[in-house]
Amino acid sequence: MNKTLFLGALTVASIAAAASSAATLDDVKARGKLNCGVTTGLPGFAAPDANGVWEGFDVAFCRAVAAAIFGDPTAVEFVPTTGETRFTALQSGEIDMLARNTTWTFSRDTDLKFDFTGVNYYDGQGFMVPKSLGVSSAKDLDGATVCIQTGTTTELNLADFFRSNNISYQPVPIQTNAEAQQQYLAGACDVYTTDASGLAATRATFEAPADHIILPEIISKEPLGPLVRHGDNAWGDIVMWTQNALVSAEELGITSANVEEMASAPTNNPEINRILGTEGDLGAMMGLSKDWGKNAILAGGNYGEIFEKNIGENTPIGLARGLNALWTEGGLQYSPPFR
């Protein structure tokens, strides 16, 4: 018994010991694949399809980073994490980056020692109620029972919202989105609250989505984005600039369809040339190959393509671009220049 315990402890210790390492890029290259933390399953953002292949909005960012490094969008090991395990998984080095609807907050950035590499989805917390309840505003929810997915910023926003409006509620903490959905549909709670994008994604999987409405109030700012461990800035740069490349690609009209053609010879636009590696060598500055940008865009298309394919208006999720349109179209998606 003692021996088994000891051996077990040893194993744990050796995993922990492997955690501290300096250059994440070298580790990833040596391993031959990227370990990317995603949700345990949220349709549209990250969920395995019928063949067990992960797909979704967050997944596409993991694939773009993998493609930028290896030129191969499939060189990713997806690690499903819950709201509770995600930060420990990243801190301990079990995953190299986390792309899991994670809200960028001050304390996560500073106290927990993470670096957010940008915002890939501007979200906000909303409420979903059955139409039959006859509620049209979140301020009418006095006394309601609210299902919350525990381990997220939503709990705090919810408490603040009800407190500032002087109304009461009864929280029902639930661990995963799937359980919350079951409880909500069974009527164990009147309201389900989470990020508006998550609500739309969840509603899309209902038998009768039209029987449920998402209330107009958005009660918080939820800038969602990928994050990496603090302290390895070179690695953080790679994730950040891959993301920026996807946004710039949309702005400059580079798509998965025409990227090969544009990359085959220098175009008239120097910025396109720099991103695609036909002019200068931006990749080398980050320790990547010359064609990193081309590979990243080829993986799943530019930002707009990724959005439309996974969560856009023509998908069951049906989210409008809204704040996530390019800055040139009235949205907030904006990439610093490539030069």
Segment contacting another protein by CB under 8 A, of 73-81, 87-95, 120-128, 310-318: 87-95
Using CB under 8 A, which of 23, 53, 156, 208 touches another protein? 156
Q: Contact between 150 and another protein (CB under 8 A)?
A: yes
Using CB under 8 A, which of 91, 256, 267, 269 touches another protein? 91
300 in Cβ contact with 188 (< 8 Å): no
Q: In Å, how far from its chain's centre is CA 190? A: 28
Nearer to another protein, 160 or 313 (CB): 160
Q: Contact between 158 and another protein (CB under 8 A)?
A: yes
Using CB under 8 A, which of 11, 26, 53, 173 touches another protein? 173
Using CB under 8 A, which of 11, 32, 136, 188 touches another protein? 188
Using CB under 8 A, which of 57, 70, 169, 307 touches another protein? 169
174, amino acid identity: I
To another protein, the closest distance from the beta carbon of 259 in angstroms equals 38
249 in Cβ contact with 297 (< 8 Å): yes
Segment contacting another protein by CB under 8 A, of 61-69, 138-146, 235-243, 315-323: 138-146
Q: Strand ranges (DSSP E) for the chain?
A: 34-38, 47-48, 54-55, 76-80, 97-98, 114-116, 121-123, 125-130, 144-149, 169-174, 191-195, 212-214, 222-224, 227-229
First to last CA, the chain: 62
Q: Contact between 31 and another protein (CB under 8 A)?
A: no
Lay out the site mask for another protein across 117-136 (x = CB under 8 A, - = otherwise): ----------------x---
The partner residues of 103 in beta bridges, in order of sequence, read: 224
Residue 46 token pair? 């990250």
* Alpha carbon distance 240, 227 (integer Å): 9
Nearest to 286 by CA among 235, 336, 335: 235
**Contact set for another protein, span 6-25 (CB under 8 A):** 6, 9-10, 12-13, 16-17, 19-20
Query: Phi, psi (5° rounding) for residue 18?
Result: -75, -10
Give the full edge-to-edge strand order of the sheet including 227-229: 76-80, 34-38, 97-98, 227-229, 114-116
Q: Contact between 208 and another protein (CB under 8 A)?
A: no
Nearer to another protein, 11 or 74 (CB): 11
Q: Contact between 246 and another protein (CB under 8 A)?
A: no
Residue found by looking up tokens 């609250």 in the block = 193
Residues that bind another protein in the complex, under the rule CB under 8 A: 2, 6, 9-10, 12-13, 16-17, 19-20, 83-84, 87-88, 91, 107-108, 111-113, 133, 141-145, 150-152, 155-156, 158-160, 162-163, 169-175, 182-183, 186-190, 229-231
